[in-house]
Amino acid sequence: MNSGLRGNNKRTHSVLKSFTFAFAGIKSAVKKEKNLQIHLVISAAVILLGIMLAISRLEWIMVLFAIGGMLSLELMNTAVERVVDLATEDYHPLAKQAKDIAAGAVFIYAALSVIIGAILFLPKIIAYMS
């Protein structure tokens, strides 16, 4: 695997190459991770709802932080799972703990994102339906 570093820790690639690695990681996760795909579909729906309900600039900032944080955390969870799987193929309680804790972090942020969405969108949806 190319980490972009030589043995003497000198940088061997450009900043542009770093972006290429990042996009390759995102592309790989989007193709292989069902949970990330679900988060992307929900994010698209939330963005469409935000457009339809004409949310304010501040509300957009909150929505975008919720979406960006959720997607980032899901990518980190995927990275933890990959590293744990690389470290051991055997069942190990610490490996399970690492995966479970990373999944727990995703769950907490997802719950927070749902609460933010409810606070922002429910009053607008109720007003729209009235």
- Residues with Cβ < 8 Å from 101, sequence gap 6 or more? none
Residue, of 6 and 99, whose pLDDT is higher: 99
Locate the domains of the chain by residue range: 15-129
Across all residues in the chain, what is the average pLDDT?
92
Angstrom distance (rounded) from CA 37 to CA 28: 11
Annotation says 74 is catalytic = yes
Q: Does pLDDT of 5 surpass 80?
A: no
Phi, psi for 11 (deg, rounded to 5): -70, 130
The pTM for the full model equals 0.84
Q: Which of 1.20.1250.20, 1.10.287.3610, 2.102.10.10, 1.20.1050.10 is the CATH number of 15-129? A: 1.10.287.3610
Q: Which of 55, 74, 78, 117 is catalytic?
A: 74
Binding positions for ATP are 33, 81, 99-100
Residue 50: predicted pLDDT: 97
Q: Is the pLDDT of residue 6 over 70?
A: no
Binding site, annotated residues: 33, 74, 81, 99-100
Query: Is 90 exceeded by the pLDDT of residue 42?
Result: yes
pLDDT tier at 14, thresholds 50, 70, 90: confident
pLDDT in tens, 49-93: 999 999 999 999 999 999 999 999 999 999 999 999 999 888 999
Q: Annotated binding residues for a divalent metal cation, as ranges?
A: 33, 81
Q: For the residues 8-19, what does the mean pLDDT come to?
A: 73
With a cut of 90, say whether residue 120 has pLDDT above it.
Answer: yes
Integer Cα distance of 81 and 99 in angstroms? 6
